[in-house]
A and B are shown apart, each in its own frame.
Chain A
């Protein structure tokens, strides 16, 4: 075999491997969407039907009109949106303040605070479930979206601060100093100079918190008993019946739940990686 032919063969093999990885990653997601658009007789069959033929909107419209556990899927999408957006907005304010403190000031306990952030990120949320459940119960927040919002702020904050501080640190300090010299106050400098420059990073961080909160399952499962207040992840399991599972309905609902996350993901994927392995990559 000539070297050129071998090189070409190698390229073909690499591309084939790439396609294989792509298929492995995408097939389950594709199958979820395909099942959502199949009529029931194409779902409950032992033969393999690669495409919905013809596509049917039965399941999608059914999860909206009939819904599950007595409510339209709109209700759960709305609950999830309320919880995620509120937690993100509150968390973003707290995270921005804390990140500014850590990235802009040298003070005692700064290192201790950073190490604290790293450690609390690693505490399993599942372990905090029991004490937080009793706390929520005692405060009368059981069965309330507010309780979920507060807890999600706590769960996402350490990572948000950790990620955001690199964005704040990336803004040149000279800009703020110029603003001081021009006579601007502390607040004006923060609001007019630092904030606009950190905004893209704040958006990326917020999207990450949104995804975490949107996907959160354990707390939503334990802190909410009222079916009208379920979030999407919890509502999903009610498609699973005692004897049979409504696969068309559950796949339609899963697809609806996945779409916003997928869009956000493609927007921030690069930043997310750099945030998660911060430091290690740049060495």
Chain B
């Protein structure tokens, strides 16, 4: 091995002396031209293969095996036992599957809809505001966008705190008759938001919408700015109403932006983990699981059921890949990847 590798490395490169006089500078590196892009790509490709593609394969592989403590220990691990579709069977038979799938889907649908609605309205508003006011609002929404997910979660947990939270204080300000009429109660002191799955998800929706509408707003604004103003002038001359201008000009021209935003938001909201984990206080409340929290809980509680966790992750990834497919098709349509 040792000898051959010395030779293979080109210890006695015959072309070495000629290099100095070469009229074509690109030969100096000794790489033929066609090989250059592959050489540049190689490190990145290796990283992607080792850290994303191989684990992806492994995830699928593990989902057909029983993987516990013995299999993952560093010293002298035992090989995992092949169990076929057992993991999948126990997922689909589990009550948790339906609750966590319901939580995942309902949360994603509601959050995506609210985020896009609010984001688009704010984007349209920013386009109408004067330059100073617009900058002021953009800087404000940046603050929400920039807050790290972990900080988002603790801040909203604090705002919705049962005793000293601002939200309960505000709800107590409502006139009693109004509060009774809308919520059927007038005293909100000590209202625990995080014990019940529905109110927990309510807070989660508010927190995630709060953190993600700025991106939609700024993207919609960028899209609006790219529409030539002549179109609007022409519409005004023809006496078009604001609504029909939006329907006939703004919306069709922003459609590619919207389709990307919808898919990106769906993907992000489908796999929400950090905020849910922190708001729910870890994995204690099984009712509040979504698919990613459930997968985590199975794989990292004791005893760890990594195979089962992997199978849940496969189901989640499968759903997301279908959504991604739509996204990729849209990107390829609108941009030159060729």
Cross-chain contact of A123 among B52, B77, B159, B331 (Cβ < 8 A) = B52
B15 sits at the interface (CB 8 A): no
Cross-chain contact of B29 among A183, A187, A261 (Cβ < 8 A) = A187
Within 8 A of B (CB), among A119-156: 119-120, 122-124, 126-135, 137-138, 140, 142, 150-151, 153-155
Are A126 and B295 neighbours in the complex by a CB distance under 8 Å?
yes
Given contacts A28-B210, A186-B28, contact A154 B48 (CB under 8 A): yes
Are A180 and B26 neighbours in the complex by a CB distance under 8 Å?
yes
Contacts of B317 in A (CB 8 A): 123-124, 127
> How far, in angstroms, from A17 to B271 measured CA to CA in the complex?
32
> How far, in angstroms, from A269 to B217 measured CA to CA in the complex?
12
Contacts of B58 in A (CB 8 A): 131, 134-135
> How far, in angstroms, from A31 to B140 measured CA to CA in the complex?
14
* Among B94-102, B129-137, B177-185, B229-237, the stretch in contact with A: B129-137
B50 sits at the interface (CB 8 A): yes
Most interface-central of A15, A116, A127 (chain B CB within 10 A): A127
Within 8 A of B (CB), among A224-283: 232-233, 236-237, 239-240, 247, 250-251, 254, 257-258, 261-262, 264-266, 269, 273-274, 276-283
Given contacts A31-B158, A46-B169, contact A25 B210 (CB under 8 A): yes
Are B150 and A236 neighbours in the complex by a CB distance under 8 Å?
yes
> How far, in angstroms, from A215 to B153 measured CA to CA in the complex?
12
Contacts of A15 in B (CB 8 A): 129, 133
Contacts of B256 in A (CB 8 A): 280-281, 283
Contacts of B260 in A (CB 8 A): 277, 280
Are B40 and A101 neighbours in the complex by a CB distance under 8 Å?
yes
Contacts of B113 in A (CB 8 A): none
Mask, B208-241, CB within 8 Å of A = 1, is: 0010001100110011001000000000000000
Within 8 A of A (CB), among B132-155: 133-134, 136-152, 154-155
Are A114 and B163 neighbours in the complex by a CB distance under 8 Å?
no
A214 sits at the interface (CB 8 A): yes
Mask, B163-176, CB within 8 Å of A = 1, is: 11010010000000
* Among B6-14, B243-251, B306-314, the stretch in contact with A: B306-314
Q: How far is the CB of B250 from chain A (nearest CB, A)?
A: 14
> How far, in angstroms, from A24 to B155 measured CA to CA in the complex?
14
> How far, in angstroms, from A155 to B53 measured CA to CA in the complex?
11
A68 sits at the interface (CB 8 A): no
A209 sits at the interface (CB 8 A): no
Are A46 and B189 neighbours in the complex by a CB distance under 8 Å?
yes
Q: How far is the CB of B318 from chain A (nearest CB, A)?
A: 10
Are B145 and A153 neighbours in the complex by a CB distance under 8 Å?
no
B85 sits at the interface (CB 8 A): no
Are A43 and B164 neighbours in the complex by a CB distance under 8 Å?
yes
Q: How far is the CB of A259 from chain B (nearest CB, A)?
A: 10
Are A124 and B292 neighbours in the complex by a CB distance under 8 Å?
yes
Residue of B nearest to A237 (CB): B278
Are B129 and A277 neighbours in the complex by a CB distance under 8 Å?
no
Are A48 and B169 neighbours in the complex by a CB distance under 8 Å?
yes
Are A46 and B164 neighbours in the complex by a CB distance under 8 Å?
yes
Contacts of A185 in B (CB 8 A): 25-26, 28-29
Mask, B2-46, CB within 8 Å of A = 1, is: 000000000000000000000001101101001011101101110
Are B321 and A276 neighbours in the complex by a CB distance under 8 Å?
no
Cross-chain contact of B159 among A28, A222, A258 (Cβ < 8 A) = A28
Cross-chain contact of A154 among B50, B215, B337 (Cβ < 8 A) = B50
Contacts of B105 in A (CB 8 A): none
> How far, in angstroms, from A198 to B160 measured CA to CA in the complex?
46
Cross-chain contact of B43 among A47, A94, A122, A280 (Cβ < 8 A) = A94
Within 8 A of A (CB), among B279-338: 281, 292, 295-296, 299-300, 306, 309-310, 313-314, 316-317, 320-321, 323-324, 327-328, 330-332, 334-335, 337-338
Cross-chain contact of A98 among B29, B31, B45, B259 (Cβ < 8 A) = B45
B122 sits at the interface (CB 8 A): yes
Cross-chain contact of B72 among A93, A134, A158 (Cβ < 8 A) = A134
Are B122 and A21 neighbours in the complex by a CB distance under 8 Å?
yes
A118 sits at the interface (CB 8 A): yes
Contacts of A262 in B (CB 8 A): 142-143, 146-147
Residue of B nearest to A128 (CB): B55
Are A95 and B44 neighbours in the complex by a CB distance under 8 Å?
yes
Known: A127-B292, A265-B142; 9 extra A-B contacts, CB below 8 A, are: A44-B163, A46-B189, A110-B37, A131-B59, A134-B72, A138-B74, A140-B74, A236-B151, A278-B335
Q: Point out residues on A near B: beta carbons under 8 Å.
A: 14-15, 17-18, 21-26, 28-29, 31-32, 35, 43-48, 93-95, 97-98, 100-102, 104-105, 107, 110-111, 113-120, 122-124, 126-135, 137-138, 140, 142, 150-151, 153-155, 157-158, 161, 180, 183-187, 211, 214-215, 217-218, 222, 232-233, 236-237, 239-240, 247, 250-251, 254, 257-258, 261-262, 264-266, 269, 273-274, 276-283
